[in-house]
Structure formats: structure tokens, C-alpha cells
Amino acid sequence: MNIDLKKIRHVVEVAHSESITTAAHTLAISQPALTRSIADVESQLGVQLFVRLRRGMRLTEAGQVFVEHAIRVMKSVDDLFVNTEDYINLKLGRLRIGVAPAAYQTYLHLPLSQLVSSYPGMQLEIVAGSAEHLAPRVISGDLDLLWGAARPLSQWPELDVKIVIDLYYGFMVREGHPVTKLDSIREVDLLSYPILLPATVEPVHIDIASRYAPNGLSPMHPRYVTDDFEVVKTIIGGTDAFSHVASISSSFASRLKGFEVFEDLVEIPPQQLAFATSSARSHSPAIEAFVNEVESTLTERNN
């Protein structure tokens, strides 16, 4: 049995006002139309909901039962629409982000700060790990999207990958490092010194490692490993080690005071940051808000 929700509201309003005339005025419909609406509901139910009096309407016992339940139904429907509207407007909702590798969370600090400030009702969950572990969670729907290096994300045909911005790489040494005194610095000159790498494995590590054999060097083996950039600067500043540095800005080298940064010295392919979502599901309002915030923020910072 299907009863028009509008007609249910008509019954409730007549019960509230105990008058067809008053209810019709409140509902902004004609009295004959409201009378037909009540009669239609009674016909569908097969029971009389109202006793017609000379001066108004009064609920029957069956009518009282119907109206009690109808009020709860309408409240649920109203809540449904309100909650759906809140979801669309991001007053409610949840965003579950995977980051691979964890080091790339640093590029999300500002956009996520602005996102949660703009939408304080949104729930946010961030999980860091490898693309191999997090990509299946996006495909299954356990995570909404995956943020990280573009190249590994493209391995899964079930994911839609959108490149957001290029990463600029350089290789930093201390001022006065022996290689800075060479008239012409070659790739092998730098790679011959100890390397410091983050503990978090990145795709660029594989690219750097691939340059050792062509230069006649032993396989890459880091002497120092840390994810703390302050520790990186301390070690690089006090030894002859070198480390790669990344930025979304092409002018990052000028901000590393006390260090020399070589760009385009080690032959590595271009690197990009991207996000990946399941190709089987449409973007939620929370995903769209995140993507817009990241793209606008990182593009502005790059300019």
C-alpha cells in the first residue's frame, strides 16, 4: 500500500486544527481538494479517520493511531531531508584519506587545515602507509581516496588517478662540501659520497638507486636514515653526506640557507603528486571539497 506523503500531512494538519477550513488555509489548498485527500487516505486504509461534526472534525480511534504513527514518519522524513542536505553542504559527512608514503602528508597540512576550518562538522581520518596496502582499501571503499606519488597509484586500473602538481627535486650538501670545489660536477661525483634517506620509502628512492650501476658504483646503501628534516639538516651540515630534497615550488633551493642544492644533476624521471579514487564510485561532496582545496592551495603556493 502506497499513500502519498502529502496526503499524510493533510490528515495530520486536519487532526491538529480539527477543521477542514482552517487546515485548508494553513496548507494553502482548497477545501474540496483537502476533503478529497482525506477521503482518498480513508479509502486506501479501509477505515474512517475522522468523525464529521457540524463544527469541525474529530479523530476516530483508528484515526488517533494513524496520526500518532504519521507524525513519527513525517519527523523521520524531515530528518532524512535535513541530514541529506547537511551531507551535501558538508555540515555532516566523513572523509577517509590514505597517504602513501607518510612523508607526503606535509603537503596536506595547509589544505586540510582550511578544510576542517570551513567544514567543522566533517569527520576526518588520515591513514599513512604504502600504496600497495592502501590502494586496495580505496578500491573496496574502506578509504575515500589515496594521496601520494602518481607513479605507484597508476598501477591499479580500478583507480582514477589525477595528477595535481609536479614535485621538484634537488640534492643538498653542506656549504664547503668537497664537490662544491669541483669545476664541473658530475653525477658520479655526488653519488660517491654517503647518502642520507628518509625511513619512509618513496618512488624516487628507486630512481636514485638505479643511477649507481651506470656510474660504476656499488649498489646504494644509505649511511643515515631519518624522517626528521631537522635531523637531516644537522647530519648533512656536519658530514660529507648528501640527501635529496623535494618541494612543490621551483624556488625551494634558495630557502635552504647554509646548504648547496644541485638540481638536474642526478638523472631521475619527473615526479608528481596525485590523488586516486575508485573508478566504480562517484565523488562524495567531501571528496570534491578536499580536491578543490588541495588543488587551489598547492597551485597558489607554487605560484
The 10s digit of each residue's pLDDT in 137-156 is: 999 988 999 999 888 898 99
CA gap 7, 10 in Å, rounded = 5
Integer angstrom CA distances of residue 275 from 82, 132, 144: 31, 15, 10
Alpha helices, DSSP H only, in the chain? 5-17, 20-27, 31-45, 61-88, 109-118, 131-140, 150-153, 187-191, 203-209, 229-238, 285-302
For 235-256, the pLDDT digits (tens) are 999 999 999 988 887 777 667 8
In CATH terms, 5-88 corresponds, of 3.90.650.10, 3.30.360.10, 3.30.200.20, 1.10.10.10, to 1.10.10.10
pLDDT-derived band at 271 (thresholds 50, 70, 90) equals confident
Q: Do the domains spanning 94-165+273-302 and 167-262 agree at the CATH topology level?
A: yes
Of 99-108, 155-164, 243-252, the least confident:
243-252
First and final C-alpha spacing in the chain? 62
Average pLDDT rounded to a whole number, residues 58-62: 90
C-alpha 135/C-alpha 274 separation (Å) is: 13
The pLDDT of 80-95, averaged and rounded, is 68
Q: Sign of the CA dihedral 161, 153, 170, 111? A: positive
Torsional class of 161: left (φ above 0), alpha (ψ -120 to 50), beta (otherwise): beta
Give the SS3 label for residue 203. helix
Which of these, 130, 155, 119, lies nearest to 287 by C-alpha position? 119
From residue 267, give the alpha-carbon distance in Å to each of 4, 187, 209, 210, 254: 69, 8, 11, 9, 21
pLDDT at 302 over 60: no
The model's pTM is 0.65
3-state SS, residue 287: helix
- The CATH fold assigned to 167-262 is D-Maltodextrin-Binding Protein; domain 2 (3.40.190)
Domain ranges of the chain: 5-88, 94-165+273-302, 167-262
Structurally, what CATH architecture does the domain formed by 94-165+273-302 represent?
A: 3-Layer(aba) Sandwich (3.40)
Name the grid cell of 62. 483508528
